[in-house]
Amino acid sequence: MRIFYNISKKISDEQNSKINKEISEEEVLAAIWSLHPDKASRLDEFTIAFYRQHWNIIKKDFMRMTKNVFKQKNGRKYKIFIFDSHP
């Protein structure tokens, strides 16, 4: 049964492909360098400066973790639905 059959498509196949592509190290680094070095996430309390300073040591594990977060949750892939609230 298709639940969303009455919902019109709002993004192109190309946009969908970009949304679902694997995150790259360049994208992660750009995000890290765009943040203030003294800020920390609540998850681990490490500052952005820590990630910058130790990137060469942690990057392999960090990238594996980041890719897994984007791909899976409890063995299921995330699905992103974008709804236009204005008809």
Sequence ranges of the domains in the chain: 35-74
Distance CA 30, CA 17 (A): 21
Q: What percent of the chain has pLDDT over 90?
A: 28
Question: Strand 72-73 to strand 76-77: parallel, antiparallel, or no bridges (unpaired)?
Answer: antiparallel
Instruction: Confirm whether pTM is higher than 0.85.
Output: no
pLDDT tens column, 37-75? 998 876 678 899 999 999 999 999 999 988 887 777 544
Phi, psi of 47 (to 5 degrees): -80, 165
Average pLDDT over the chain reads 78
Q: Which residue has the higher pLDDT, 25 or 15?
A: 25
